Structure 1
Amino acid sequence: MMLVLWVQLGAMLQAHAANATNAGKLDAVLVVDVSNSMTTSDKHNISSEAMKMFVDMTSAQGNKIGVVSYTDKVEREKALIAANSPADKAEIKSFIDSLHKGAYTDIAVGVDEAVKILEAGHDPANYPMIVLLADGNNYLNTASSRTQQQSDNELQAAIKTAQQSGYPIYTIGLNADGQLNKDSLKKIAADTQGKFFEASTADQLPSILSQIFADHLKLKVVPLTSMTANGQYQDVTIKIPNASVMEANVSIMSGNPVELKLYAPDGKEVSLTSNNVQLSRSKAYSMLKIVSPVQGDWKLKVKGVTRDKIDISMVFNYDLQLAMEPIPVKTYSKGDTIAIKAALTENGQKVTSADVYKQMKATLLVTDTATKQVKELPLANTGSGFEGSYSVEDTHRYELKIKAEASSFYRETQPVIVDASTAAASGTQTPAKPAEPEKPFPWLLAIGCLVGAIVLIIAILYILAAMKKANKGFIGQIAIEICDEDTGSKTPPQYKKLNTFKGKVKLHQLLQLAPELAETDKVTLVPGKNDTIIIFNRSACTIEKAGRVLDAAAGKELKKNDRIKIMLQNVNKSIYVDYIV
């Protein structure tokens, strides 16, 4: 049995002054293909264990996590919820354990829903990301009207939204049966600035997810030594290098239970259930989270089953950013020398501790914006920062950026533009000869006539559209169930045909104008395109779809077989509405 131990030192990364993003916090949506084809690829359901480990990897507070499981439809989903306590994380992990498999596969469904979840609940202060576990293959239900072209179109639309919104999609392809569609998953990752990973066995998933976590937060996975369990406690040293470490997570993966003891640098044993230590367990791993660990060598004692192999690696994180000293804004010339300085910062203050800079290396990256060539120039480590210089090579525009890295993490500065191209052009410009004045054209009169014509056309089109909309009919029917939230009892479904209505219908009408449900008078249904309906909510009611609140003030589209829940405010009742075509 393979037992994997890795350490992740997580921190709340403070934003660069020019960027308000809180780099250490995540809005992550985990998406997993639960079609029957994945049964061969993941016989022991390691994907669920890996996703749960990812949940535990996130820092103690500030993250939001969502989950989507899909076949050829969304089987189950959990919208982004805050993971600010062990109880919050336990709820998410319990949801992951409840996922079940289905018959068909449509990858566009899962990606599209994940993007929608981020669109609905992403906090601009957090890093957004999507992690997709799949084999990349579609297996559509031939009995449905869904075509591969429709699936491709939906996938491309979701990818475009992810591109525009800055949602990287990390794809993990399970290839246990040799049927992995690498090209599809690679393209999704490349188009969204994510990364593609391949796993020939599900046992590789935990390691891959830790790499994704590290890559997204500019961390490095540091491999250490390996050992074999002997049935006795064995020591593992966890070096906390400086006071900038905000959190340490120790994850131990094994099919067999392990026993743990933890000792602080002063030699005193630390309770695994104290305020600064959190311990979570799963079928395949245990995770120990140490909040605000003091600097020094911590000792973890691990007792595993005899002959279990133990591979140890670490992921560090620090409450640090890298800032470049401002470069004068001016027109540069070929041969000019520019002084370069940079330093790590913490909470906006320069870090001068030699412990932090020890063994760090920094490089100036110079990109010629015309040729796209990149030159790397080493900078000197002064013990409290980095210094060097750059001589402008030609009359071009250059982008300057500094990257500093240690064995466990790296940071980059915001890019700065040095422009030497305008200096060369400034001496060659000749003032243009003034043109002879021409007789003015009657622009005011022409514009007035044009505006008048446009207004008239718009008015006519608006009237025609309003007339057409008012007479447009519905397709299909809806099923309505009323739930008493106090008792949990539901009424039998009431089926209401919609084709007898034109233009729009109020939900209160469909509820037979029951007085206690009068607040639904401001919930309206309108025919939509392609056999859909649009629901407008201008009441105080809350509308949910798949556990996610819908803001339907401006209208939300309901497709075939969509189900929504409308929670009333004046009475403790909910209304379930199914759209049937």
Structure 2
Amino acid sequence: MLRKQQFSLRILLVLSVLLLPFSLRMQEVAAADASSQIDAMLVVDASNSMKTSDPDKIGNEAMKMFIDMLSVQGDKVGIISYTDQIQREKALLEIQSAADKEDLKQFIDQLDRGPYTDTSVGIKEAVKVLQQGADPDHEPIIVLLADGNNDLDEATTRTEEQSAQELEQAITDANQSGIPVYTIGLNANGKLNKDALAEIAKKTGGKAFSTNTADDLPQILSEIFASHLKLKIVPIQSMTGNGSFQDVVINVPNNDVLEANISIMSAQAVEVKLTDPTGASQTIPSNDILYSQSKSYSLLKLLKPKSGDWTLQVKGVNKDKIDINLVFNYDIELTMDPLSSNTFKKGDNIDITSYLTSSGQKLQNSTLYQDMNAKLMVKDVDSGDTQEIEMTNTGDGFEGSYKVAAEHDYEISVVAEDSSLYRETPVVSISAKPGGASPTKPTPVVEEEKDPFAIVPIIGGVIALAAVLAAIYFILAAVKKANRGFVGQMVIEIRDENTGEKTYPQYKKLNGFKGKVNLHQLLQLAPELKETEKIIFLPSKNDRLLLKNGSTVNIEKSGRVMDASKGLEIKGSDRITLPLQNVDKTIMIEYLV
């Protein structure tokens, strides 16, 4: 009987051991599928002081150019205009077409200015929006355009100390959520508080820039994109217009380029022509070549361009300076194979293999490897020293090794780069300290029949592994639930109860959200409708929604007040009404599948 029990337990143990790495591998695959897309909040100071620090509204031009540089589909962007309160706000919008970008740029053109300034207001709101609405697979980012100076309303009780505390808390929240803040200081009047903006960027892992002219925007925004997505700017020599077309060679190094962003900055409008590597003239714009213009820049976006030398012809006004910047975007990551162990001894050789992946799959014999160099980065945690070791390019990956120099803890990663691309692997921690080393002596084997209690450690091991598997199951279930997507759209109308007038129906597509979305987000986070932020929608089975009401607003359906505190299911064509309490307005919603 004992032997049967032991046999059954061993079978269970073997199955547990086999299933555990499988479950872990599933998590690794999910991590490997992360894309290089962006969820961005553009935050601009709209106080009256900006009339002198940004009289030409360079901040608006920067936001438009940032939007044009975003991918054709998939990136998400929102806009916050602030003074000492939120002036205007547009919630995160997933870019699906050129029309979406135009909608955002029109919103920017409508921004106006008001008195007073409190930087903490804009940063705090942007962090909150990204924490609630960003895609977990996207790279979150905040771009702040300001002069860095506060100007509080003396008629209120708010103090500089309170503003500083809230800003520090917002910076802490951004840092903990992995949201870097890139700052662009606008300095036309020479009163830029450069240190304040640099501190925000430094504490969140972003970078700080400053400018008093739109001429610098291509370089600044290219650097922000390059830094955030680990790309490199490809320098192109500036030129002076002569009234005729001048040739500029754009080299696309390989077929793995996702997008090529060519920004052209000039004081006056330019004309452009383009020929591909075969010499064929290209239509601008077309399905694979997008072209956008503003009063201070032009931007060409080549989608999946052929490798080789493209010829860009630019015709500018005589003696007009023309600056051209180029940034390639790749949907590529650098991966390092798991190490044989995470504990070693002094003198051990650790073999490292690394390679490029796209959508979780290894790139096979890609020409991208031809000009790439890789280094093994080994940081001695105890001494703080970092050693760089050249790796061998095998044509489809990189190989190298490190000989453990001391009984210390180490952090190991790989970086690879060429003239247009920079990538690095996640850091792996190892230990060569005696206490962390694997035992070298074999563990004695105890015969089963001589020790009736040998089953106890097996049971303990099985229970422990079962607990781990259960934890993994619930974690994966939670992750799946958090990432569950929506279907359909909502039609939203708002009725003013004082005048009886209704807004035009707003169609809000839900497939850009995952896990949950609150009503305040769908209402573009309008400050006067803030009481709706605790009204949450979650995706449910059979293309339905689950509404959870944590606010004091009543939820009415078919003329009856419904208790939605624990959840109210909404199916296609259902209509609900929400009479607000803080303002004389009623929100009417219809769910369409």
Residue among 559, 567, 583 paired with 1:578: 583
Contact 1:483 1:573 in 2 (8 A): no
Q: What residue identity is the alignment partner of 1:273? A: P
Root mean square deviation, CA, Å? 3.2
Contact 1:21 1:124 in 2 (8 A): no
Change (3 A) 1:386 1:486: closer
Alpha-carbon distance change, 153 to 275 in structure 1, aligned in 2, over 3 angstroms: same
Q: How many residues align?
A: 457
Report what 2:246 is aligned to. Answer: 234
Match of 1:166 in 2: 178
Shift of residue 38, structure 1, vs aligned partner: 1.6
TM score, norm. by length of structure 2: 0.71
CA–CA distance in 2 between the matches of 1:256 and 1:403? 41
Q: Which has the higher helix share?
A: 2
Partner of 1:415: 427
Q: CA deviation at 1:20?
A: 5.3
Aligned to 1:262: 274
- SS at 1:225 equivalent: coil
The 1-side partners of 2:133 and 2:330 are apart by 27
For the 8 Å contact 2:80–2:88, the answer to whether it is kept is: yes
Number of the residue aligned with 2:526: 546
Q: State whether residues 261 and 326 of structure 2, in contact with CA within 8 Å, keep that contact through their aligned partners in structure 1.
A: no
Q: Is the Cα contact below 8 Å between 2:43 and 2:144 reproduced in 1?
A: yes
Deviation at 1:575, TM superposition (A): 5.8
Tell me, yes or no, if the aligned pair for 2:244 and 2:315 is still in contact at 8 Å: yes
Q: Deviations over 1:76-135 (max 9, x none)?
A: 110101111110000001111111111211111111111122123111121111011111
Q: Are 2:415 and 1:403 equivalent residues in the alignment?
A: yes
Counterpart-to-counterpart distance in 2, 1:286 and 1:109: 32
Partner secondary structure for residue 269 of structure 1: coil
Q: Is the 8 A contact 1:338 1:389 kept in 2?
A: yes
DSSP 3-state at the match of 2:130: helix
> Secondary structure at the residue paired with 1:69?
strand
- In structure 2, relative to structure 1, the CA distance for the partners of 1:330 and 1:403 (3 Å cut) is closer
Task: Give the alignment partner of residue 502 of structure 2, picking from 485, 493, 500.
Answer: 485
8 Å CA contact 1:343, 1:386 repeated in 2: yes
1:281 aligns with 2:296: no
Q: CA deviation at 1:181?
A: 2.0
Q: Deviations over 1:525-576 (max 9, x none)?
A: xxxxxxxxxxxxx99xx87741887343454599xxxxxxxxx975899768
Equivalent residue, structure 1, for 2:322: 310
**How many Å separate the matches in 2 of 1:130 and 1:152?**
19
Alignment counterpart, residue 147 of structure 1, candidates 148, 159, 162: 159
**What code does the residue aligned with 1:550 have?**
E
Partner SS, residue 578 of structure 1: coil
Contact 1:544 1:550 in 2 (8 A): no
Q: In structure 2, do the counterparts of structure 1 residues 196 and 486 end up closer, same or farther at CA, with 3 Å as the change threshold?
A: closer
User: 1:89 — aligned with what?
Assistant: 101
- The residue type paired with residue 243 of structure 1 is N
Q: Which residue of 2 aligns with 1:460?
A: none
**In structure 2, the residue corresponding to 1:344 is in which secondary structure?**
strand
Secondary structure in structure 2 of the residue aligned to 1:143: coil
Tell me, in whole angstroms, the C-alpha distance in 1 between the residues paired with 2:119 and 2:436.
53
| 8 A contact 1:25–1:126 mirrored in 2 | yes
| 2: CA distance, partners of 1:349 / 1:120 | 30
TM-score, normalised via structure 1 length = 0.72
Using the alignment, how far apart are the partners of 1:125 and 1:425 within structure 2? 36
Quote the Cα distance in structure 2 between the aligned partners of 1:23 and 1:571: 37
One-letter amino acid of the structure 1 residue matched with residue 388 of structure 2: E
Shift of 1:245: 1.0
Give the CA deviation at 1:283: 1.2
Is there any run of 5+ residues in structure 1 with no aligned partner, and where? Answer: 1-14, 428-478, 489-537, 559-567
User: What are the ranges of 5 or more consecutive residues in structure 2 without an aligned counterpart?
Assistant: 1-26, 440-495, 506-517, 536-547, 554-572, 585-593
1:44 to 1:544, Cα distance in 2 relative to 1, 3 A: closer
* 2:401 is equivalent to residue 384 of structure 1: no
Q: Distance in 2 between matches of 1:487 and 1:322?
A: 48
- Structure number with greater Rg is 1
1:107 to 85, 104, 119: 119
* Residue of structure 2 equivalent to 1:250: 262
